[in-house]
Amino acid sequence: MIQNSFILIVEDNFFNRLHIRTNLEKNGFKNVIEAQDADTALKYLYSLNIDACILDINLGENKKDGIWLGEYLNETLKIPFIYLTAYDNQEIVQKAIHTKPFTFLTKPVNWTVLIANLKLALSITKEEMKPEINRILLRDKKNMLKPVSLSDVLYIQAQGNYLKFITQSGIFTNRNTMKEIEKRLPSYFIRTHRSYIANINHVQGVQSDKVIISNHTIPLSRTYSENFKKSLSNL
């Protein structure tokens, strides 16, 4: 359901954020996240499965304004977004349009128009598979967020509501599901088991029920064995 989508509001004014959130929740949206600046927004974008964003252009004194974030959403994350701003200066509007938002709306807010556009953006993108990602923000042992290149990940293991990303330099975590992360992983990540996804570029050997990856051993179940071995043979 569209109402189960994760919506990120990026707005530096607390009362504006609260007003937008309240109206989204009144219209049935259950998962509304707030960020006051672009850096906070990026943390949510890499740690949660955000489906759409509502962006203000002026995000305070931070150099990363809404247009910067919109460009990043369009070119890197491919997540639909709507500008909701008090700006109507034509120069700024043209810069914003260049980032390819789903739409550009001005304040004061017409809630009927905003909700309709948000639902339309979600209904279109829900039919499309989300693009592959190459880097992801993960938490280290000290619970600090760090960008990690997926090419350095040996394998991913599901553990409760979290995923463990095992790399040669350490173990990182991310709150997500195997089903959701699998949609966005590069093609060199292949499922070996309901709880494991392997980076086939690091595979050193395969046994009947095991995969050896850089001195680690993970299970290979019958369900995924044929597809996994076929993927290896295509390297």
Q: What is the CATH number of the domain that holds 89?
A: 3.40.50.2300
Q: Which residue has the higher pLDDT, 66 or 3?
A: 66
Q: Both 94 and 34 in a single domain?
A: yes
Q: Both 37 and 95 in a single domain?
A: yes
Q: Both 145 and 212 in a single domain?
A: yes
For residue 34, being part of any structural domain is answered with: yes
What is the rounded CA–CA span in Å between residue 191 and residue 14? 43
Mean pLDDT value of segment 196-209: 94
Q: Percent of the chain having pLDDT more than 90?
A: 60
SS3 180: helix
Domain end call among 125, 144, 173: 125
The pLDDT assigned to 129 comes to: 44
Mean pLDDT value of segment 57-79: 88
Q: Percent of the chain having pLDDT more than 70?
A: 95
CB 213 within 8 A of CB 153: no
What is the rounded CA–CA span in Å between residue 105 and residue 55? 10
Q: Both 205 and 229 in a single domain?
A: yes
19-49 per-position pLDDT tens digit = 999 999 999 998 999 999 999 999 888 877 7
Q: Which domain holds residue 221?
A: 135-233
130-139 as b/e: b if 16+ CB within 10 A: eeeeeebbbb
Give me the phi and psi of 51, to 5 degrees please: -100, -30
Domain end call among 71, 98, 125: 125
Mean pLDDT value of segment 126-155: 80
The pLDDT assigned to 215 comes to: 86
What is the rounded CA–CA span in Å between residue 144 and residue 139? 5
The one-letter code for the residue type at 142 is K
- Entry field: residues in the chain: 235
